[in-house]
Amino acid sequence: MMDMATETLSGLRINGQRLWDSLMTLARIGATPKGGVARLALTDLDREGRDLVVGWAREAGMSVTVDRIGNIFMRRPGRNPALAPVMTGSHIDTQPTGGKFDGNYGVLAGLEVVRTLNDRGISTEAPIEVAVWTNEEGSRFVPVMMGSGVFAGAFSLEHAYAATDTQGRTVRDELQRIGYIGDEEPGAHPIGAYFEAHIEQGPVLEDAGVTIGVVQGVLGIRWFDCTVRGMEAHAGPTPMGLRRDALQVATKLMQEVVACAHRHPQADGSNHGRGTVGMVQVHPNSRNVIPGEVKFSIDLRNHTDASVEQMAQDVKAFAQTLSKLTGLSIEFKLVSSFSAQQFHAECTEAVARAAARLGHSHMPVVSGAGHDAVYAARLAPTGMIFIPCKDGISHNEVEDATPEHVTAGCNVLLHAMLERCGKVHRAH
Ligand SMILES: [Zn+2]
């Protein structure tokens, strides 16, 4: 054994064709006619996908363990077994009309890192593990990010086991049925650091023409249901001055939800505020009746809990003024709240350094969507690598990414992980 010269190491590259072929092979399991993938969590297809990936891991000399929520950990030993593994991974379950890359890329990029190290006879000080987290999508079983959530202690194993699909089948029964209910206690597994490669699922990188997104963290979220109550009345006989039109008041408030997201730029000029009204119910929803009641959803996001809270306060203050002005009641109900998660500087910097060393354009980005890395970040220093996806579209059968970007992201993953693995050696 010898210490690898820095030049040798910096010349190390993954096999992009092999990674692409693996992605396309896995995408055949549950392939849809429109070129997407439907491989819902804990179905027979999920089992087939898991079996394929686990088989590949064993061929690459990795040992495989499964925990009680069905998370799979595929391990390549390090020279020092006492060190916590440097972990990467993602999920292979998809939406009903999902794509080939969401989640699958993170798992197979991890496998490609291991295959590359095997090819070159390179050993690392810390072990390397590739995780396949159970039910990230939350499409068949709620909550989302179930496997990583149980692993991080965000909710209990019993809570996850009890979740049922529309047919009344439970997570526990389905895990049992597909043979992926392991005996390892979730969370018993140490993590030294965690990296996850993922398609961006948004349009920022493509718009900027940049290859690598250095993910700084995941946006915090507040979900409200809002109800505006007026008085329904005939559209003809009721003069404008005597109306209590709930929709006219509601639309003013909806405008404010979006305006307040525009108003929250950061010190560095970037703006991670997001304000969305995606669901509206008008009562009685009739052409010639003044709307008496409007219910709508509010989705607020920002990169710190303080800034998302400030947005919520702004919207509520606006509603209060509006209510006084119009005499209509406006009610808010908090439906869900997710904390913002900043990633660890050591990991985000490792990703940025790797991208720079490899000569890839890169920029700091935030993730507007949740990922398994959010829960991993509660346990260990964590970072994510984004690559562009076509037109920013994901959770859709047309989801696409280029082989060049897929390769670039995996190379960044390789070098960021090696940096965290400590001394790297190559066999003679
Ligand atoms: Zn995903």
Residue range 204-243, pLDDT digits in tens: 999 999 999 999 999 999 999 999 999 999 999 999 999 9
Residue 268's contacts (CB-CB under 8 Å, 6 or more residues apart) are none
pLDDT at 141: 96
Q: How far is the CA of 290 from the centre of ligand 1 (A)?
A: 43
Cα-to-centroid distance, 150 and ligand 1 (Å): 17
**How many CB atoms are located within 10 Å of the residue 279 CB?**
11
72 C-alpha to center of ligand 1: Å? Answer: 16
Give distance in angstroms: CA of 270 to centre of ligand 1.
24
- Distance (angstroms) between ligand 1 centre and the Cα of 245 equals 42
pLDDT for position 424: 78
Query: Which residues sit opposite 367 in a β-bridge?
Result: 218
Confidence label for 297 from pLDDT (cuts 50, 70 and 90): very high
What's the 139 CA to ligand 1 centre distance in angstroms? 12
The predicted-structure confidence for 324-371, as pLDDT tens digits, reads as follows: 999 999 999 999 898 999 999 999 999 999 999 999 999 999 999 999
Q: Flag whether pLDDT at 375 surpasses 90.
A: yes
Q: How many CB atoms are closer than 10 A to CB 281?
A: 12
- Output DSSP code: residue 390: G
Beta bridge partners of 63: 75
Give the mean pLDDT of the chain.
95
CA of residue 137 to ligand 1 center, whole Å: 7
Q: Does residue 389 have a pLDDT over 50?
A: yes
| pTM: predicted TM-score of the whole model, two decimal places | 0.91
Whether the CB-CB separation of 107 and 27 falls below 8 Å is answered with no
pLDDT score of 2 = 42
CA–CA dist 163, 26 (Å, integer): 27
- For residue 12 the two structure tokens come to 């190390």
Distance between Cα 5 and ligand 1 center (Å)? 36
Q: How far is the centre of ligand 1, averaged over its atoms, from the C-alpha of 281 (Å)? A: 30
From the CA of 220, how far away is ligand 1's center (Å)? 17
Predicted local distance difference test score (pLDDT) of residue 3: 54
The pLDDT, as a whole number, for residue 1 is 39
389 C-alpha to ligand 1 centroid (Å): 13
CA of residue 102 to ligand 1 center, whole Å: 5
- Lowest model confidence (mean pLDDT) among 6-15, 67-76, 185-194, 356-365: 6-15
> Are 287 and 230 within 8 A, CB to CB?
no
Q: Cβ–Cβ contacts within 10 Å for residue 265, how many?
A: 11
What's the CA-to-centroid distance between 231 and ligand 1, angstroms?
A: 44
Q: What's the CA gap between 84 and 232, in Å, rounded?
A: 64
Residue 357 tokens read as: 């060393």
Whole-number Å distance between alpha carbons of 382 and 218: 11
CA 165 / ligand 1 centre spacing (Å): 20
Q: How many angstroms separate the alpha carbon of residue 163 from the centre of ligand 1?
A: 20
- Expressed in angstroms and rounded, the spacing between residue 348 Cα and the centre of ligand 1 is 19
Centre of ligand 1 from the C-alpha of residue 37, in Å: 13
CA of 103 to the centre of ligand 1 (A): 4
Ligand 1 centroid–CA 35 distance in Å is 18
> Is the model's pLDDT at 427 over the cut of 80?
no
Tokens coding 347? 């990991």
- The DSSP element (H or E) to which 216 belongs, if any, is strand 212-218
- Give the dihedral sign, CA 349/353/356/358: negative
Q: How many other C-beta atoms can be found within 10 angstroms of the C-beta atom of residue 290?
A: 19
Select from 228, 224, 260 the least CA-distant residue to 336. Answer: 224
Which pLDDT belongs to residue 292? 98
Residue 422: which pLDDT band, with cuts at 50, 70 and 90? Answer: confident
Distance 198 CA to ligand 1 centre (A): 7
Q: DSSP class of residue 15? A: -
For residue 428, pLDDT over 60 is answered with no
Rounded to the nearest angstrom, the distance between the alpha carbon of 199 and the centre of ligand 1 is 8
pLDDT of res. 378: 96
Please give the residue that has the higher pLDDT: either 271 or 173: 173
Quote the pLDDT of residue 391.
93
Q: Does residue 5 carry a pLDDT above 70?
A: no
